[in-house]
Amino acid sequence: MKKCVLVLVLLVSFIGFSQDNHIVKTEDGRRVLLKADFTWEYIDAENPSLTSVSKVKDNTSCNLAEGFEEPKLDKKIQAQLKKGRATISHVKKKVAKAHNCDVKDIILLSVSEQKSKATYKFCANGKEVAYKRIGNTIIKKEKFF
């Protein structure tokens, strides 16, 4: 009986791994189906980055009010983060590098900050982007669904 179950499990896993079709995402956000016969096709009908670029008119598309000021951060937390290079200036440098712009073009829209973690929303090149900090690690906040 154990041999039958083992053969069945191996057969099912072999069938599952024998499917060579892979779905990958391109740099511009479109999904591509790579087939086993070395062909490919787009899964998404249109390029999402082209539609989002057409909506962005200029760097003021973050809809900032006149006289907008960045939120003030806790100086005590920022002083503690200085050793780990995770202060707001370090975060802004990382965002500027990721979006190919100057640090002075990055505007902090909102922040939720604690000593161990934080979430930041920025306006970079006319787009709202979110980053998170866990300890001293700074990464882009991704949406799963």
Torsion of CA 50, 54, 60, 61, to 10 degrees: -80
**pLDDT digits 0-9 by tens, 16-55:** 666 667 778 888 888 888 887 778 888 875 655 554 444 4
User: What mean pLDDT comes out for the span 133-143?
Assistant: 83
144: pLDDT strictly greater than 70 = no
pLDDT value of residue 17: 65
Q: Where are the domains of the chain?
A: 2-55, 75-140
| Total-model pTM | 0.55
**pLDDT digits 0-9 by tens, 52-103:** 444 433 445 788 888 888 888 888 888 888 888 888 888 899 888 888 888 8
Cα torsion angle, 17, 23, 26, 29, sign: negative
- Give the DSSP per-residue string, 21-61: -EEEE-TTS-EEEEPTTS-EEESSSS-HHHHHHHH--STTT
pLDDT value of residue 53: 44
